[in-house]
Structure 1
Amino acid sequence: MLLTQSDNCRDHARMNILALSGSARRASTNTALLRNLADVAPEGVDITVFDRIAELPVFSPDLEHPHPASVAAFADLIAHADGLILCVPEYARALPGGLKNALDWLVSGEELIAKPVALAHASHRGDDMLADLRRVLTTVTSAFQPDIFLRLPLMGQTPEEIAALFEQPDTRHKTRAFLKAFAKTLPPKSQT
């Protein structure tokens, strides 16, 4: 994705967060959590949800230069985000292959090196996967925020049920507090 002149002239005081769903499932609980998180974002914070990791080809160093078009667009989204929020399901007590593949495409680039990253989790379980993901993230970015974490037990709920949960004041308060804490870790915007 190429930035146009109008993109370069956007309000530089706004924080732009890319919310990456680690699920390839169409009715994903993780994606639903991220979409609702975007809906309750505080003033000055824009959240874009990326839910297309299944469209990325299998990583191969032979294909890195130049990147396939879908990978180049994905890397560009990350490069232009002020920070990343990842929401990832656990598959067989480990990272889903699609997410690991997406991260593998970024390892030799600079998009993630100092990018602030926080985690959201849509389940009451998954601690083994979260430990693995935290280890990977501390390897690929110096700005991983391990203490900024949102956990909502949403397993088995439909996207509609999750949207209704986000209407509840306690959930809205918890999610906004998470977003505000993460926004404080983002680099200050230039006022040019």
Structure 2
Amino acid sequence: MNATVTVVDHPLVQHKLTVMRDRDCSTKGFRQLLNEIGMLLAYEVTRDLPLEPVSIETPVARMEAQRIQGKKLVLAPILRAGVGFLDGMLSLVPSARVAHVGIYRDPETLEAVEYYFKAPSDLADRTVLVLDPMLATANSAVSAIGQLKKRGARDLRFVCLLAAPEGIARLQSAHPDVPIWTAAIDSHLNDHGYIVPGLGDAGDRMYGTR
């Protein structure tokens, strides 16, 4: 059975995504909106984290309250565009650990090439959110998740801004245990592996490169 796909259709997410899609959106605006959507997506993807009771003292009385159970999250952006989600998510979960997975897509073959990996040593004990704005061919996502699993990660969730049906199918086929959260599922991929209608190359639009 394939993992679930959750489309976050909150009005704020959809509004910000529309502004980002516009080709006239500035580099500064695009980067800021990606951070804001990252925070909103983090809110949704962590909705079912387990809680445990703790006893605390308020200024008025002792009480039983709830806190997140177990070790803190790991945010694992796929470099470079995945970093665009980090600030927004860390503002919501400031104690999260951060892993970095460096992967680029070969422009000729569209295959994923890994060039960097650095992560906490106890991935097996943590929930890992794998971050990449675009789930297009899914080659980078499949590779990154595979590398995280090799290092012990067991509870993984993939978070993106846009997904293509082809990318969803590929990720589900390779890693059927990893659920997906996205702000939208677009029509298809073009011959260059770009999502249509999409928003172009997220990394280039974040950093003003071409």
**TM-score computed with the length of structure 2 as normaliser:** 0.40
**TM-score computed with the length of structure 1 as normaliser:** 0.43
Choose between structure 1 and 2 for higher RCO, CA contacts under 8 A separated by at least 6 residues: 1
Larger Rg: 2
